[in-house]
Structure 1
Amino acid sequence: MRADGARIVALAETWIGTPYRHQGATRGVGCDCIGLIRGIWRELYGEEPEPVPAYAGDWAERSGDDRLLDAARRLFGPPVPVSEAAPGDLLLFRWRPDCAAKHAGILAGPQHFIHAYEQCAVTRSALVPGWRRRIAAVHRFPQNLNKTGC
């Protein structure tokens, strides 16, 4: 496992059990899937790269834009082939091929990922075929991590 990947997985694991809260981004208090990624980003780099506008629970259906994929490309760079996904990578999911990506998680190992799951909490889930076939993109966190953090 890459050193940065191991560090990202370790950070994500500290969020496990955080209650699901739409638009939340605070470990132990509440977060959604985007908030989990935002919180990990803050721990790695010290601050978020841009403000996150308010969004409804069904934002991906309403806008018609693939805003999550666009933001991932802008902030994380080009996607990595799914076959090259490694622990610590950002996974983006879409529910159907004709829908925008709407869910995010952190690959924790070849068969598991960590994500904030609605009506649950931040949890480690098996990357079963039903999840695996919904992967829309894989991205690596940018290099030059803040070495003073966790």
Structure 2
Amino acid sequence: MSRVVRAARGWVGTPYVHQAACKGAGCDCLGLIRGLWRELYGAEPEAPPAYTMDWSEPQGAEALWRAAARHLMAKPLSEAASGDVILFRMRDGSVAKHLGVQSAVGETEPGAAAVKPGPAFIHAYAGHGVVESPLSPPWQRRIVARFQFPKELI
């Protein structure tokens, strides 16, 4: 299991609190990634501006995508790995504004006799808090970008 996934699982059960990033007390999806960055590397690379629940939608700006690209390493969508940060577009035509950490890929490992459980991800979800969810086909269809934390820092 990757260091990122171990750290993310430590956040499971944290309540959903908009704009927060405090393990055990509250976070949103961006707050989860910010908190993981602090656990893995120390200080965050930048402070996010205040944002509303509909952030970037009126302008159609991909603010979250641009911020992820500034600090994380982009990778092809087809190269899923545990520990990846995945970015979702919740509705067709809307801006991408949900993040999670891939916790399982659900593939058969070489030489393994059994298939691992299906793909899963950890995310902070309004009304649920930080949970580990199956990365089901409806969620998979919403993925628009895949990143990894910078290796030189982990």
TM-score, shorter chain, exceeding 0.5: yes
Match of 1:28 in 2: 24
Deviations, residues 64-97 of structure 1 (Å, cap 9, x unaligned): 10001111111113x2111101000000000233
Runs of 4+ in 1 over 6 A off after TM superposition: none
Deviation at 1:135, TM superposition (A): 0.1
- Structure in which a larger fraction of residues adopt strand: 2
Aligned to 1:136: 144
- Taking the aligned partners of 1:34 and 1:59, their CA distance within structure 2 comes to 12
Within the candidate set 5, 15, 31, 1:19 is matched to 15
1:145 lines up with 2:144 in the alignment: no
Gaps of 5+ in 2: 106-118
Tell me whether 1:127 sits opposite 2:135 in the alignment: yes
CA distance in 2, matches of 1:63, 1:76: 24
Aligned-pair CA distance for 1:55: 0.1
Between structure 1 and structure 2, the one with the greater Rg is 2
**Following the alignment from structure 2 to structure 1, what is the Cα–Cα distance between the partners of residues 59 and 28?**
19
Q: How far did residue 60 of structure 1 move?
A: 2.9
Unaligned runs of 5+ residues in structure 1 are: none
Aligned equivalent of 1:97: 92
Separation of aligned partners in 2, 1:45 and 1:97: 34
1: CA distance between counterparts of 2:59 and 2:27?
22
How many pairs align? Answer: 141
**Deviation (angstroms), 1:38:** 0.1
Is 1:9 aligned with 2:17?
A: no
Q: Residue type of the partner of 1:107?
A: Q
Q: 1:112 aligned to 2:120?
A: yes
CA distance in 2, matches of 1:62, 1:27: 30
Match 1:68 to one of 61, 64, 71: 64
Q: Indicate the structure with greater helix content.
A: 1
After TM superposition, give the deviation of residue 62 of structure 1 in Å: 2.3
Q: Deviations along 1:1-51, whole A, 9 cap, x unmatched?
A: 6xxxx1000000000000000001000000000000000000111010011
Q: Secondary structure at the match of 1:138?
A: strand
| Percent of aligned positions that are identical | 52
